Structure 1
Amino acid sequence: MPSSAPPGLRFVLASASPARLATLRAAGLDPEVVVSGVDESGVRAESVAELTAVLAQLKADAVAATLDLGGQDTLVVGCDSMLELDGEAYGKPGAPERAVERWRRMRGRSGILHTGHHVLRLTGADRTVAAAVGSTDVHFADLTEEEIDAYVATGEPLQVAGAFTVDGLGGPFVTRIEGDHHNVVGISLPLLRLLLLDVGVSWPSLWATP
C-alpha cells in the first residue's frame, strides 16, 4: 500500500483526552473526536504495558463500530495511558484521597508511563491494523505534604493517568523524563508516525490545510 493518504481521508481520534487532541493539533493534525465509552474497569492483562495495548484496541474498535463509513477511507486512532509503579497499573485516581495517596507513593521515585496506540485504517471492506506501546521513564520530585495537598486541590491530577501532567500544573513536579515527552502527555508522535506508515498513510498527508 503506498504511503500517502488520498484526498478525503477521514481521521478519527477515539479519545476524550484534551491533551491528546492538543498534541495532535500542535503537530499540524486536526482529527475528528469520537469518544469510545469503553468500560475499563473489568479489563485485565498480564502486564501494565499489555493492558494499555488492550484498552487502546478496545477504544479504537468501539469507535470504528459506531461510524457510518459510507465507503469513505477512514483512519481511527485509539490510545490509553497508565503509570506503572512497583509493577502495578495506575490510571486516573478519580478521587482526591486516592490522588494524595498516589503522590505519597510516587514522590522522590520514578515510574514508567505506558501509552498503548492502536491504529485502524478502514478502506471499503479492507481493515488494516498497526499497534504498539510507547514506554517512558518519569522521575518525580520529592514533594512536600503541602505541595501534594495544593496540587490535588486544583483537581488536575484526578482525571489524568498517574495523577500527574507534564504539560500543565504538574510540570514542576517531574524532574526528568527518559524517552518521548509526547508519550507522557498521552500520544507518542514519533511512534504514531511509524504506525501510520504501516497502514499506508504518511504523516505530512494528514497536515491540516487552511
Structure 2
Amino acid sequence: MCFVLASASPARFKVLRGAGIDPLVRVSGVDEDAVAARLASPSPEQLVTALASAKAEAVATEIADEAPNAVVVGCDSMLDFDGEVVGKPGDPEIARQRWSRMAGRTGTLLTGHAVVRLDGGVRTKEAVASQATTVRFAAVTDAEIDAYVATGEPLAVAGGFTLDGLGGWFVDGVDGDPSSVIGISLPLTRSLLAEVGVSVADFWEPGNPE
C-alpha cells in the first residue's frame, strides 16, 4: 500500500516525514476557484472538504496505474477570521492588512482532509472530514508585520501565517491540533485512514536499533 500526498506543500510533507511516513507526492492541479464556484453558499467546513476531496480524487485518477494499491490524501486549509474565510493573500498589501487586523486577536484555522483508497487501480473507499483549530495571534508591531511580509512567506500560505516557520514567532498559541495548523492533522488523518481500512502503522519503516 502506497501513501500518496496530493499536495505540493513542503510543510505537509515535513509533518508526514517527521511522523514516520515517506509519501509519494503528486500535485492535483485542481482549479480551486472552479470547485468553489460549483458550491451553493457553502459553509467554511464544506468548502475546505470539497477542495480536499477534489484534490484527492484528481490525483487518485492520475496515480491509478503507477500506484494501483494506495491511499491518496488531499488537504485544504483556510482561516476563518471575523466571519470571513480567507486563503493565501498572494499580495503583500493584502497580507499586511490582514496581519494588522489579526494582531492580538484569534482566528480559526480550518483544514479539510480527504482520503481515497485504491485497490487494483479502482477506488474502493473514501473518507472526508474537517478540523478546526483556534489560533491566538501575538500583538505584533507594524515594523514586525512589514518585516514578515517582506520575507514573502505569508503570501503563499493559508491565512497569511505559518506555525512552523517565521510566522511561529507571532503566534502566542493554538487551541487544538498544532499539526492541523501546519497543514495536515495527524490525528484526523489517522482516523480517516482507519475509516478506509488502513492503519497508519502500516506505513512506518522498521527501526534499526543499535
After the TM superposition, which residues 21-100 of structure 1 pair with which residues of structure 2 at under 5 Å, given as runs? 21-42=13-34, 43=36, 44=39, 45-69=41-65, 72-100=68-96
Amino acid at match of 2:17: R
Q: Normalization by structure 1: what TM-score?
A: 0.92
Compared with structure 1, are the counterparts of its residues 166 and 71 closer, same or farther at alpha carbon in structure 2 (3 Å cutoff)?
closer
CA contact (8 A) 1:71 1:123 kept: no
For each residue in 1:3-56, what CA deviation from the matched residue of structure 2 results, as whole angstroms up to 9, or x when unmatched? Answer: xxxxxx121100010000000000000110000111112314521121110000
More off after superposition, 45-54 vs 147-156: 45-54
Percent of aligned positions that are identical: 56
Distance 2:123 2:93 in 1: 47
Query: How many Å separate the matches in 2 of 1:78 and 1:52?
Result: 10
Structure 1 residue aligned with 2:166 = 169
CA contact (8 A) 1:48 1:88 kept: no
Deviations 1:72-127 (A, max 9, x none): 31110000000001221111111111110111111111000000000000113452
For 1:60 and 1:164, the matched residues in 2 are separated by 24
| Aligned-partner Cα distance in 2 for 1:71–1:112 | 35
Equivalent position of 1:4 in the other structure: none
Moved over 6 A (4+): none
Unmatched tracts of structure 2, length 5 or more: none
Q: Which residue identity lines up with residue 32 of structure 1 in the other structure?
A: L
Aligned length: 202
Q: CA deviation at 1:70?
A: 6.2
Contact 1:28 1:208 in 2 (8 A): yes
Q: What is the RMSD computed on CA atoms of the aligned residues? A: 1.4
- Between Structure 1 and Structure 2, the one with more helix by share is 2
Partner of 1:17: 9
Distance in 2 separating the partners of 1:13 and 1:70:
14
Q: Return the TM-score normalized by structure 2.
A: 0.92
Question: Which residue matches 2:143?
Answer: 146
1:197 has 2:194 as partner: yes
Cα displacement (A) at 1:176: 1.6
CA distance in 2, matches of 1:146, 1:205: 48
Give the drift of 1:173.
0.5
CA distance in 2 between counterparts of 1:71 and 1:204 reads 19
Is 1:104 the counterpart of 2:96? The answer is: no
- The one-letter code matched in structure 1 to 2:101 is R
Q: Is the 8 A contact 1:30 1:208 kept in 2?
A: no
